[in-house]
Amino acid sequence: MNSMEAAPPRETAPARILVVDDDPTVSEVVAGYLRRAGFAVEEAGDGPAALEAAGRARPDLVVLDLMLPGIDGLEVCRRLRATGPVPVIMLTARGDEDDRITGLEVGADDYVTKPFSPRELVLRVTSVLRRSRAAGAAPVPAPLTGAGLSLDPATHRATRHGAELALTLREFDLLAHFLRHPGRAHGREELMREVWGWDFGDLSTVTVHVRRLRAKIEEDPARPLLIQTVWGVGYRFEPGGAVAA
């Protein structure tokens, strides 16, 4: 963990965080740390309550438990992401990789296993929000194209051979980075830092996002031609690997 300050970006209204956990103790601790860091926090104890709260006023970020009564965290995440690119940090008592990957594949931006450090969670929330707001305040880059792909940062639309791609916010940012740097090898730590502004975290998060992106842009994700693995380094985007439509 680095020395980032656990404080939200300065602006008129504090960021709204929705904390969803059926364990009142966990919810209270998480909400308390976030409030002390300057965030506005709303709590929900199950899936239906979380969706209702998000429907009343869309949060800037959701801290979401995987195991929830009624509607589980995976389904809540799917429904939230279907209505827009709200960042989601998933909490779970499960520590195995399959659960982490499942959470990321339905659109979670990060994954924290219980027990966890509340301070680290605040840092992760802050990092995600800073990156999101910095992107929103910066001049909108020009559209990007290559290998039959087209990305328009102004409208946040992406297409492949003219067909729209359903990319999450993280996938969109990753593909944009690859299109800006064709032929260059990127390490996973570099991608975490340059694409998402993370100076800490689980490197397998990058692996999962690359896997999800390959599933959406490759002819055969099992034998990727566009996003190639560079053994011992990371990944390289090769526009020349595209297969004609």
- pLDDT tens, 46-88? 999 999 999 998 999 999 998 888 888 889 988 887 777 788 8
pLDDT digits (tens, 9 = 90+) for 199-234: 666 677 788 889 989 999 999 999 999 999 999 999
User: Which of 108-117, 161-170, 198-207 shows the highest mean pLDDT?
Assistant: 161-170
For the chain, helix (H) and strand (E) counts, in that order, are 8, 12
| Residue 4: band (very low, low, confident or very high) from pLDDT cuts 50, 70, 90 | very low
pLDDT of residue 134 exceeding 90, the answer is no
Residue 20 carries which DSSP code?
E
Residue 161 has pLDDT above 70, yes or no: yes
Highest mean pLDDT among 110-114, 154-158, 187-191: 187-191
pTM greater than 0.75:
no
Give start and end residues of each alpha helix (H) in the chain. Answer: 24-36, 47-56, 73-82, 97-105, 118-137, 169-180, 188-196, 204-217
- Which of the pair, 122 or 106, is modelled with greater confidence? 122
Q: Which domains does the chain have, with CATH numbers?
A: 16-135 (3.40.50.2300), 144-237 (1.10.10.10)
DSSP 58-83: --SEEEEESS-SSS-HHHHHHHHHHT
Rounded Cα–Cα distance for residues 39 and 59 (Å): 11
Burial label for 90, CB within 10 Å (0-12, 13-18, 19+), is buried
Structure tokens at 170: 């993280």
CA separation for the pair 212, 154 (Å, rounded): 23
pLDDT at 132: 65
Task: Report the side by side order of strands in the sheet with 227-230.
Answer: 185-187, 234-237, 227-230
* Banded pLDDT at 40 (limits 50, 70, 90): very high
Percent of the chain clearing pLDDT 70 (strictly above): 81
Residue 11 pLDDT > 60: no
